[in-house]
Copies of this chain bind each other. A is one copy, B any other.
Amino acid sequence: MSAPVIAVVGGGQLARMMAPAAGELGVHLRVLVEAPGSSAAQVVTDAPVGAAADEAAIRDLITPSDGRAPADVLTFEHEHVPNDLLTDLIEHGTPVRPAPHALVQAQDKIVMRRRLTELGAPCPRWAPLPLDPEQGRATLAAFLDEVGGQAVVKTSRGGYDGKGVRVVSSADDATDWLVAAAAGGPQLLVEEKVPFTRELAVLVARRPSGEVRTWPVVESIQRDGVCAEVVAPAPDLSDDEARRARQVAVEIAEGLDVTGVLAVEMFELLDGSADGPPVRRVLVNELAMRPHNSGHWTIDGSVTSQFEQHLRAVLDLPLGDTAPTAPWTVMANVLGSSLPALTDALPEVLGAFPDARVNLYGKDVRPGRKLAHVNVSGQDLGEVRRRALGAAALLRGEPLPTDPTTDETKA
């Protein structure tokens, strides 16, 4: 057998970070990139340029017209491939992982909420908003009455990193979105605004033959609706609480028939308890059916990274050990920078933090753009956070914060 070939749609940092794992496993990666020189194209030798919605480009990715080996499986670094095409590919014999019947659950929040509700997964209260604006207003008003106070209106499709999400106090707050939905925009749903104490995430991998592995539960710290920091494992969870959260993710992966890596973003709530400490429980917030920002810590902090695991899973190879390699790992995102290029910061950041695992994505600097992340592992959580956040600050072109962990926790 020659080297297995994995076709990946999308040439951003997620596909880029699959490359080292592919090399180690002896797997050939073929990535459909948006433009020459994109993040993944810099490190993948077989990186044709094309759009994710371009049927000819996808077909050529799987069966190249120039005689390169056909792909054994098609997978993704984002959820924006037309499902009709994927279904057709499967019918003609190409495994697509995750398959469209699973992928739709990460593409459409109404489909996802309906299915999770059927599966009995813990979800916030929610309702789809009818397309007719007047009916939509009425449904939203009734929902607000029921939950009391505020709610969150979301577009069912196309939202990410805080986009497509709006907190509303009255139906009037959503008028423009209701009109847009009726005019053919994405349909809307409303969810209760959960009084969560923090956000958690569970990463799970599942292969077609059924094997499932989860990583430890992590805490995901958002700023401006974007993941800024991940602490692995999530502090202060009891073994039971962590086990329950991981079990929720496993049940979703199995219930939705996910193959590959699935990230389950969760809200943590504290329930009062008459005769003891408050009890933590989780509600499912979002799903991502691919390697995810909440799992970048696994590159340096776990025996098997989410990227290697995704490749193993979509090839139906046995999954790797997900044990952490250190008591604590903190991942800090670099979102935008005042530097012309992040490599300008290497002398300072590597000098100040010899143990920081710096991972640059090779992207041009733009405000707020995900440009890099830093992982730091160690014994002392406060020190590990201080170092990860300090290194990320230097890569953003900022001075070292005097006490970044205190600042960041307040933010």
Contacts and interface: CB of A to CB of B under 8 A. Distances in A.
Interface of A: 1-4, 16, 19-20, 22-28, 41-45, 47, 303-304, 312, 317-321, 323, 325-326, 340-344, 346-347, 350-351, 354-355, 357-362, 372, 377
B341 A317 contact: no
Contact of A303 (B24, B351, B355): B355
23 contacts: A1-B343, A1-B344, A3-B341, A19-B19, A20-B24, A22-B43, A23-B42, A23-B362, A24-B359, A24-B360, A26-B342, A27-B343, A45-B45, A304-B354, A317-B346, A318-B351, A318-B354, A320-B350, A321-B354, A323-B355, A325-B325, A325-B326, A325-B377
A4 B45 CA distance: 19
Pairs A-B, 6 closest by C-beta atoms: A26-B360, A20-B20, A318-B351, A321-B355, A318-B350, A321-B354
Contacts of A24: 20, 357-360
A390 to B, nearest CB: 14
Nearest to A325: B325
A320 B4 contact: no
B360 A25 contact: yes
B303 A2 contact: no
A50 to B, nearest CB: 17
A64 to B, nearest CB: 16
A19 B25 contact: no
A82 B351 CA distance: 34
Contacts of A312: 350
B43 A319 contact: no
A320 B25 contact: no
A105 to B, nearest CB: 28
Contacts of A361: 26
Contacts of A320: 350, 354-355
B350 A317 contact: yes
Q: Which of A26, A28, A360, A362: most chain B CB closer than 10 A?
A: A26
Contact of A1 (B1, B303, B317, B341): B341
Contacts of A20: 19-20, 23-24
Nearest to A4: B343
Contacts of A350: 312, 317-320
Contacts of A346: 25-26, 317
A350 B21 CA distance: 14
A342 B2 CA distance: 9
A73 to B, nearest CB: 14
B1 A340 contact: yes
Nearest to A359: B24
A26 B351 contact: no
Contacts of A304: 354
A79 to B, nearest CB: 24
A49 B354 CA distance: 35
A320 B325 CA distance: 18
A20 B342 CA distance: 18
Nearest to A45: B45
